[in-house]
A and B are shown apart, each in its own frame.
Chain A
Amino acid sequence: MTELTGWGRYPRHPSETISPPSPKALPSLMASRTGLVARGNGRAYGDAAIGERVTLMAQGLDRIRSFDQTTGRIQLEAGVLLSDLLDIVVPKGFFPPVVPGTKFVTIGGMIASDVHGKNHHRDGGFGDHVESLTLALPDGGVVTCSRAEHPELLSATIGGMGLTGTILDATFRLRPIETGWMRQTTTVARDLDGAIRALQETGSATYSVAWIDCLARGASLGRSLIFAAEHATRRDLDALQPGAEPYPSSRLGRLGVPIDLPSFTLNRLSVSAFNELYFRAGAVKSGYPFLVHWNPYFFPLDGVGNWNRIYGRRGFLQYQCVIPMGQAQGVLGGILERISKHGNASFLAVLKQLGSSHGDLSFPLEGFTLTLDLPVSDDVFPLLDELDRWVVEAGGRLYLAKDARQSPATFEAGYPGLSRFRDLRRAIGATGRISSRLSVRLGI
């Protein structure tokens, strides 16, 4: 038995762990065990990748099967890390179609969570780009799913949190790029209205995201920096940084957080000093396009190893909701205000425009998503229950890959695809056999 947690280090659950060395081992494992779920790199924040009884550690399934450098089509096993994939394909002029906010996730995890990136408003989620995948079913069978073969199984598996079977491999196409640089433009929004408007206006940019200063109050509530970007072309490189290496090395000095910092280091003073610095640095570059390495643009927090430890021993919750377009401004404003009153909030919140999505349990819907971190404390749970009610009333939902505490009622209200998902789980014999702490908690 091993005690497992997600990236937020809350909750903690004991589980037996099994590390299959090869996809060959999966069918018999699946058929002989119950209460299991696959786990990639453990970057889901809550209890999604902790098996009810058994957790299948998928990191050994990390082989690339084939990579066609003319078409960009790649087939790989589900345990391949995105960071590994980037190191291989970027120098050859390719980039994954969608990347989440950390590169330390597996491809299987990206499919199971149907992760979205800063280009969701244009390109959809990662699941939209999966051409086919191989799934080990609870009865030991192995099936290939695509839009032509078992499309219902594909739709359930994309965003299905590993609850339809174990993803063994996937095939998708990478996008061609001319350089490893991003052409970024940063703008400042004075408040939430400005941020939402700016994100809509930068809708033509391939990538866009806003970082909100959570400690700004009153008229400045929602003060943000908006980061819009494109993959830089060779011409951008010549214009903005002549002579630069087209594919700069991905090595980046990593500043680790080696021990658990006591929670008081995150008090209002240190956080607001951090934000002042951050916003001043951002404002300097405001409005002018400049080049930035893909690594810090997409994965700024990956530069700080084990940053999840800065919230102390009790861990933290990441709260990520999406609110449909028309209501976003009002509800998200209310949430920011409520959180800033609570005081012990995160440094920053992330705001992003989303489009519709593919999977039965995929998170994105047309609207705006807000993400914030809160250290675990006794009073944070009732606070978030209160926010949940606003989200549900507005027709929004919470992201399962981040969730550690929502109620079954909140979940059911947010996910209309749930009954279809449950039917499919019954039909393939997954109910009660494939189960994570999350699926037990939410009654999936």
Chain B
Amino acid sequence: MEPSKTLLLVGGTSDIGRATALHYAQAGWQVQLAARNEEEARRNADDIRARTGAEVTVHRIDILETGDFDSFADSLPRLPDTVVCVVGELGDQAKGQADMAHASLVLRTNFEGPALLLGSLAERFLARGSGTLVGVSSVAGDRGRGSNYLYGAAKAGFTAFLSGLRNRLAPKGLRVVTVKPGFVRTQMTAGMKLPPVLTAEPGEVGRAIFTAAEKSGRDVIYVRPIWRPVMMAIGSIPERFFKRLRL
């Protein structure tokens, strides 16, 4: 048996993070769970260990403390084979319109932090000559909408960052995967009315991420394929009509 590979999962207390880490652990991977709230991360680490017998370690990271990213990467027991960043913050669009601090939090949590972290790990992967970087972006980044454009703009930035990084790293044999989950039933969306056909369970997202990153070799995935035509349709509405829609 080949020695087991290691996943670094950033956002280890989120539902998507937990499901993704569990999927990797079930496939025989070692897991490094990184999160701001170490106690909650440990709760998930214990659970993954009990369910799978996998080796799971917990690491503290605050996605807004970008200055700490290098020491964070240095502190990992080993450089992972794959990193998956699921960090995200939906925020409150209305609040962000009036409160610049909140708007900044949404922009930095969804774009600046994840981009800089993956960028820093990409340099280390490049030096080693191997590695896969997975960023969980959003369909909200495909087109800005009045109801969530702060979040959407940050995700659009992240999507563009991942696209550029992929373009640069592909010739060197490194992979970058962009994941657009669509609606997912999680703590972040608890209490929202979501259309069932368009809404994935966290476990589906975990499986889709694993498949794209480790098996199929796809670059950009919508977890539920139906989102691709939906977003194409939304993307093709001329701006002069789109601007009058309440979305």
| A binding-site residues for B, Cβ under 8 Å | 19, 21-22, 24, 60, 63-67, 74, 76, 88
Contact = CB atoms under 8 A, between A and B. Distances in A.
Contact of A63 (B39, B43, B187, B190): B43
A306 to B, nearest CB: 14
Interface string B49-69: 011000000000000000000
B46 A64 contact: yes
A21 B50 CA distance: 20
Nearest to A87: B51
B89 interface: no
Contacts of B187: 19, 21, 60
Contact of B46 (A22, A60, A65): A65
24 contacts: A19-B187, A19-B190, A21-B187, A22-B40, A22-B43, A24-B39, A24-B40, A60-B187, A63-B43, A63-B44, A63-B46, A63-B47, A64-B46, A64-B47, A64-B50, A64-B51, A65-B46, A65-B47, A66-B46, A66-B50, A67-B50, A67-B51, A76-B50, A88-B50
Interface string B163-179: 00000000000000000
B46 A88 contact: no
Contacts of B50: 64-67, 74, 76, 88
Interface in B25-43: 39-40, 43
* Residue from A22, A63, A65 with most neighbouring chain B CB atoms (10 Å): A63
B21 to A, nearest CB: 13
A22 B190 CA distance: 14
Contacts of A76: 50
Contacts of A24: 39-40
A54 to B, nearest CB: 14
A137 B187 CA distance: 25
B224 to A, nearest CB: 20
Nearest to A19: B190
A116 B46 CA distance: 29
A254 to B, nearest CB: 16
A239 to B, nearest CB: 32
Contacts of A60: 187
A66 B45 CA distance: 10
* Residue from A19, A21, A88 with most neighbouring chain B CB atoms (10 Å): A21
* Residue from B43, B44, B50, B187 with most neighbouring chain A CB atoms (10 Å): B50
A66 B44 CA distance: 11
A76 B43 CA distance: 11
A63 B187 CA distance: 15
A90 to B, nearest CB: 13
A22 B187 CA distance: 11
Nearest to A60: B187
Contacts of A22: 40, 43
Nearest to A67: B50
Contacts of B190: 19
A64 B46 CA distance: 7
A122 to B, nearest CB: 29
Interface string B205-228: 000000000000000000000000
Given A60-B187, A63-B46, A88-B50, 6 more contacts: A24-B39, A63-B43, A63-B44, A63-B47, A66-B46, A66-B50
B43 to A, nearest CB: 5
Closest 6 CB pairs of A and B: A63-B47, A64-B50, A67-B50, A64-B47, A21-B187, A88-B51
A256 to B, nearest CB: 14
A66 B40 CA distance: 15
A19 B188 CA distance: 12
A24 B44 CA distance: 14
Contacts of A19: 187, 190
Nearest to B51: A88
A65 B43 CA distance: 7
Interface string B89-122: 0000000000000000000000000000000000
Interface in B187-242: 187, 190
B188 to A, nearest CB: 10
B168 to A, nearest CB: 38
A82 to B, nearest CB: 15
Nearest to A57: B190
A67 B43 CA distance: 14
A19 B44 CA distance: 18
Contacts of A66: 46, 50
Contacts of B43: 22, 63
A340 to B, nearest CB: 41
Nearest to B43: A63
A92 to B, nearest CB: 9
Nearest to B18: A63
Nearest to A2: B191
Nearest to B44: A63
Nearest to A23: B43
A356 B97 CA distance: 64
Contacts of A63: 43-44, 46-47
A130 B43 CA distance: 22
Interface in B110-162: none
A431 B101 CA distance: 45
A74 B49 CA distance: 13
Nearest to A65: B46
A332 to B, nearest CB: 43
A24 B47 CA distance: 16
A24 B39 CA distance: 10
Contacts of A21: 187
A66 B42 CA distance: 12
A67 to B, nearest CB: 4
* Residue from B39, B44, B46 with most neighbouring chain A CB atoms (10 Å): B46
